[in-house]
Structure 1
Amino acid sequence: MLNHTAEVSLSKFMTKLLRHTPAEYGLLLDPEDGSCLLEDLQRVIHAAPKWAGITEEDIRQVVRNSEKQRFAIEEDRIKARYGHSHAKLAYEPGVPPEVLYHGTHQAALPSIFKEGLLPMGRQYVHLSEGLHFASLAGSRRGKLILLAVDTVKAVHLGVTFYYAGNEVWLSEPVPPACIALREEP
């Protein structure tokens, strides 16, 4: 069983492998859903000297304990649910709740209110059904600002939304007219 520090470190490495630079490590992901065999991921992880002793149960522990639920294991396959920068995976369009949330920081607001929400190096804009995930994402770079996205208006303006699982929604760029500061309850 991994301690918390090792778990966080392995999670970051798995994120790199499954979301950003799989080819750099010789990991082939399914072009449809971004998954690979769990044993293939474990083999690639083992190739890094720091992780030579990692077991399948260690990988499963990271998946279970990931606060943002970044990964999913289905049968003998594992994938990152969202956040890919290496390839644009196909998701089924869905009908989101009327309001989704996006966490950001103060310095980003002028750009967001001028240009809208953009993927910023990712394939999609990341939104969440609840405030918890939006807060986690937005608090990384400074004072947290929560934005509310009017999805009804966004769909009317041509934005497509995709459900990535675990309260996370992905979308094409969201126009400024659909974005507001979240009012405190």
Structure 2
Amino acid sequence: MSNTNITQKSKYLSLILRHQPQSIGLVLDPNGWADVEELLNKSKLKFSFQQLVEVVEKNDKQRFILSDDQTKIRANHGHSIKIDLDLKPQIPPPILYHGTVEKYLDSIRIEGLKKMNRNHVHLSKDIETAQKVGSRRGNPVILKIDAEAMNTDKMLFYCSENGVWLTDNVPTKYISF
């Protein structure tokens, strides 16, 4: 399958598994898992099981995971629908990063980082990943997050299957601009 087809199918899966499963009549379980066979049958963008596996394996951000028996699939994070990823709190690295663009900085300086319509704020363990994330909307601005201080202050962190650090919010006092 070409990179263009992988990208197209990945974007479609993101829409369905992270935001609008109901648009194709798909029901996710409380942990965000969808039945693979049901997904393939109801999908408006037709693809085979092998193509689905290829999208999961080759997605540049590793957004999806198949269950061990490959009968279920879910998005690793980024949901705007309520699900429980069943992640356990973890101690984060001392410093994490967040990629954004300049037009959001005034709001971030006042309110900090908020999850907005998602279930968590997404943070990266390295600058390169944060730059990739920030560059999706323009010239990236990288914010440095004092995760160690947040953890000391009893703020919870989780790490998704693909290494994205998640938290409920990041108050401004923990952000270096």
Q: Scaled by the length of structure 1, what TM-score is found? A: 0.88
1:65 to 36, 45, 58: 58
In structure 2, stretches of 5+ residues that fail to align are none
Counterpart mapping for 1:23-42 below 5 A: 23-31=22-30, 33-42=31-40
1:36 to partner: Cα distance: 1.5
Deviation of the 1:9 alpha carbon: 0.9
The letter of the residue matching 1:63 is: V
Asked if residue 161 in structure 1 is aligned to residue 157 in structure 2, the reply is: yes
| Structure 1 contact 68–133 (Cα < 8 Å) conserved | no
- 1:158 is displaced (CA, Å) by 3.7
Percent of paired sites with the same residue: 36
Aligned equivalent of 1:93:
89
Q: For 1:133-148, list aligned pairs within 5 A.
A: 133-148=129-144
Structure 1: gaps of 5 or more residues: none
Residue 116 of structure 1 is matched in structure 2 by 112
- Secondary structure in structure 2 of the residue aligned to 1:145: strand
CA-to-aligned-CA distance 1:5-53 (integer Å, 9 cap, x gap): 111111111001100011221111110x2111221221122xx2xx33x
The amino acid of 2:41's aligned partner reads: R
Q: CA RMSD in A?
A: 1.4
TM-score computed with the length of structure 2 as normaliser: 0.92
Alignment of 1:80 with 2:62, yes or no, is no
Find the aligned partners of 2:80 and 2:17 in 1 and give their Cα distance: 10
Runs in 1 of length 4+ with deviation above 3 angstroms? none
